[in-house]
Amino acid sequence: MQNTAAKTFPIERIRADFPLLQTEMNGKPLVFLDSAASSQKPQQVLDAIEQYYENDNANVHRGVYALSQRATDAFEAARKTMAAYINAPDEHEVIWVRGCTEGINLIASTYGQRFKTGDEIIVSHMEHHSNIVPWQMLCERSGAILKVIPVLDNGELDMVAYKELLNERTVFVSVVHVSNALGTVNPVVDICNMAHEVGAVVLIDGAQATPHGKVDVQAIGCDFYTFSGHKMCGPTGQGILWGKRELLESMPPYHGGGEMIDKVSFEGTTYNVIPFKFEAGTPNMAGAIGLASAADYMTSLDLDAIEQYEAELLAYATGEMTKIEGLKVIGTAPEKHSVLSFLVEGMHPYDLGTLLDKQGVAVRTGHHCCQPLMERFGIPGTVRASFAFYNTREDVDRLVAATTRAVKMLS
């Protein structure tokens, strides 16, 4: 029996909006369950990008001619759309970046310049490599020390241990909002409040949160928030870094070049105001417009409805998959988003994933750029089925049938 959200959610109309979902893989109708890596794109987003290149293609901000002004208007309207999507108080606090990875590196390279020997930076054991390596590099440069929040056996953060890590030497905390490998939704409001009590600044990696429901940076209380567009139905190579105005204004530029300057001379250079101070060179105009179109599309579906529908889909998938003998779910936190990571006893994730592919089911296998997390659980990796609002219970049934068949073949 279908639950309430599944009954009312316009899933057939939604699926018709995504051209690639109508295709086949290995001679089978495609079941796409790798949205945590990169989501599919609706026709609306594809059309917005094509429309820009066909009708508005010109460089922004510096042209006095009408075409450039039209492109500039569309580009800055996209910034305003993305500010509204995360409830940022000011669109000038929204910086265009290539994705979440660049957003984190920007902060580590600019705000991180103030860190010194003995300062402590906290990350968690469930972080994506993109939220580990930039801080390790910063610690090597500055003499700061990296501290790690442990993960409990069910995939939740150990918040007791987090509280014990915080002290007067803590200057920065950077944690993921939703785990890409486990689906765990972290208590980011509590994480921010506790960090602020010791005077630390907080960055939230929102790459896996923005595709699955409402994000409100003001309600979260973080100081920085970053995410990638390609995981929320937008184009690749485009993302957002949001930061509080007073922090952004205090930070040095990230790259040097055009657009980020006020005045250049060989005697010295002064820099532009935010956000342009951090946007050197010709920006990805089409990407920004495409991402704004994706935000408009998702908002039109009602983000609360998306979250409820996906929660019911994940619950159904978890219930059905755990009926398979020998299958173990990795990450069983009570608060999760749209990720089902699993192993089958005695079988390598890659072998399972390959056999699922032959049956038209696209999943991700491996460590999911979370090698320390896999080491924490003592496993080489997992098979990860990640869902989006365009998936169906029929997709889940295909996953269950394909996994059951693969297990029989490998037994």
Backbone angles phi, psi at 369, to 5 degrees: 55, 35
Give the orientation angle of helix 285-301 with respect to helix 43-51, to 10 degrees: 150
Contact 189, 221 (CB under 8 A): yes
Q: CA 229, CA 27: separation in Å to the nearest integer? A: 30
Query: Do you find a cis peptide bond into 275, omega within 30 degrees of 0?
Result: yes
- pLDDT band for position 5 (cuts 50, 70, 90): confident
Q: CA 298, CA 232: separation in Å to the nearest integer? A: 8
Cross-strand bridge partners of residue 175 = 204
Q: How many helices (H) and strands (E) does the chain have?
A: 15, 17
Catalytic residue among 100, 222, 369, 370: 369
E strand intervals along 35-189:
94-97, 120-124, 145-149, 170-176
pLDDT at 2: 52
The domains located in the chain, with CATH, are 4-32+302-410 (3.90.1150.10), 46-299 (3.40.640.10)
pLDDT at 7: 81
pLDDT at 1: 43
Q: CA 192, CA 204: separation in Å to the nearest integer? A: 9
pLDDT tens, residue by residue, 38-90: 999 999 999 999 999 999 999 999 889 999 999 999 999 999 999 999 999 99
CB atoms within 10 A of CB 296: 16
Backbone angles phi, psi at 37, to 5 degrees: -80, -50
Classify residue 197 by burial, with Cβ atoms within 10 Å: 0-12, 13-18, 19+.
Answer: exposed
Structure tokens at 351: 């072998």
DSSP string, 100-131: HHHHHHHHHHHGGGG--TT-EEEEETT--GGG
pLDDT tens, residue by residue, 323-341: 999 999 999 999 999 999 9
Torsion of CA 187, 177, 313, 34, to 10 degrees: -160
pLDDT tens, residue by residue, 272-306: 999 999 999 999 999 999 999 999 999 999 999 99
pLDDT tens, residue by residue, 250-269: 999 999 999 999 999 999 99
Structure tokens at 393: 């219970």
Q: Is 369 a catalytic residue?
A: yes
HEC-encoded secondary structure of 196-265? HHCCCEEEEECCCCCCCCCCCHHHHCCCEEEEEHHHCCCCCCCEEEEECHHHHHHCCCCCCCCCCEEEEE
Instruction: Give the DSSP H/E element, type plus range, for residue 47.
Output: helix 43-51
pLDDT tens, residue by residue, 187-197: 999 999 999 99
pLDDT at 313: 98
Backbone angles phi, psi at 151, to 5 degrees: -115, 135
